[in-house]
């Protein structure tokens, strides 16, 4: 019998497929058993201290090979998540990962303190260090090993459960950031968040997005995400979760062979709500053909 289960530190997953933050809403129609049975865990939408309406103007722009987004962390805030969302989500029987977006130290502490109240319903925190640090001139926390260490240490003082750190691909020294996160107590690394891009509307002769720059994701970033997974997994001993452009079983297998323990699916979910099922079908076919019984035996095999 094929074994596709993996462990992200102390968090056991029945499947190596995790739904990335922002791609699986709270609509009950998504939380069906026929969809969830193929999923190892679901990351919540980004959680901020206060409710956010998101960015004005265009938020989504398709390209031939990916998607630009400027959502602006639209969410209902930590109080609504704790009081209304998480009790219902936990009832679906799949691990829930709380994606936390931080802007300043005070706000981060408040969010984590509230999550402690529902720690029995939250399987892990995914700390998004791609956010700008408003106390440090809006530099992204995750571009600096020092700031990353500061953020992780702050969470660790309050939160005693599993802590994943979602890295930014904009970091000039990804291995240094990864080691800083590990040394400060991170249990896993998600590699990585969206790349930066932009689009021009040639008809209006203006930038598409009010903020000009947007996050770029989709199949086009897969080779770059794969390279980062290889680099980061070689630099740390904690599990790495590959994220960026995964859209097929071969993509998942490539991430695993490069050193990832699991993958997150994001943009591909907008195209195919059954992507986890289709990916696992392809992975199982490969494992059967190659006589691989345990997916974990393939982790990092391309480096051996």
User: Which whole-number Å values give the CA distances from 27 to 117, 141, 267, in the listed order?
Assistant: 24, 31, 18
pLDDT at 103: 80
The answer to whether 289 is annotated as binding is no
Exposed / middle / buried, residue 121 (Cβ in 10 Å: 0-12, 13-18, 19+):
middle
Instruction: Report the alpha-carbon distance of residue 234 to residue 110 in Å, rounded.
Output: 34
The answer to whether 29 is annotated as binding is no
The answer to whether 302 is annotated as binding is no
pLDDT at 125: 99
Catalytic residue, candidates 121, 131, 138, 243: 131
pLDDT at 139: 55
pLDDT at 102: 83
- Using DSSP's 3-state secondary structure scheme, residue 93 falls into coil
The answer to whether 244 is annotated as binding is yes
Instruction: Match 């750190």 to its residue by tokens.
Output: 165
Alpha helix (H) residue ranges in the chain: 33-36, 77-80, 86-90, 105-116, 145-158, 174-183, 222-235, 249-258, 268-271, 275-290
pLDDT at 132: 56
Map out the domains of the chain with their CATH numbers: 6-54+73-196+217-298 (3.20.20.70)
**The model's pTM:** 0.97
pLDDT at 66: 98
Q: Is 121 a catalytic residue?
A: no
pLDDT at 137: 45
Ranges in the chain, pLDDT < 70:
132-139
């Amino acid at each position: 019998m094929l074994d596709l289960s993996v462990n992200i530190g102390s968090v056991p997953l029945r499947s190596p497929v995790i739904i990335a933050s922002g791609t699986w809403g709270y609509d009950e129609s998504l939380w069906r058993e026929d969809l969830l049975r193929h999923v190892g865990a679901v990351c919540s939408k980004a959680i901020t201290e206060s409710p956010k309406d998101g960015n004005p103007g265009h938020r989504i722009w398709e390209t031939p090979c990916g998607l630009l987004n400027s959502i602006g962390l639209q969410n209902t805030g930590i109080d609504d998540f704790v009081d209304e969302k998480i009790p219902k989500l936990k009832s679906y029987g799949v691990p829930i990962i709380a994606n936390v977006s931080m802007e300043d130290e005070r706000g981060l502490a408040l969010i984590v303190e509230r999550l402690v109240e529902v720690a029995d319903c939250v399987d892990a925190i995914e700390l998004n260090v791609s956010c700008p640090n408003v106390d440090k001139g809006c530099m992204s926390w995750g571009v600096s090993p020092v700031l990353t260490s500061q953020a992780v240490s702050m969470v660790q003082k309050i939160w005693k459960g599993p802590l994943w750190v979602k890295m930014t691909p904009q970091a000039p020294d990804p291995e240094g950031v990864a080691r800083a996160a590990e040394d400060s107590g991170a249990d896993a690394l998600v590699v990585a968040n969206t790349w930066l891009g932009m689009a021009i509307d040639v008809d209006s002769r203006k930038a598409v997005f009010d903020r000009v720059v947007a996050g770029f994701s989709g199949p086009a970033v897969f080779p770059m995400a794969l390279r980062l997974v290889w680099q980061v997994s070689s630099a740390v001993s904690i599990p790495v979760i590959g994220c960026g452009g995964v859209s097929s079983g071969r993509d998942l297998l490539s991430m695993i062979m490069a050193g990832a323990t699991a993958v997150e699916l994001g943009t591909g979910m907008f195209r195919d709500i059954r992507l986890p099922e289709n990916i696992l079908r392809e992975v199982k076919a490969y494992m059967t053909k190659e006589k691989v019984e345990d997916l974990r035996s393939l982790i990092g095999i391309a480096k051996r």
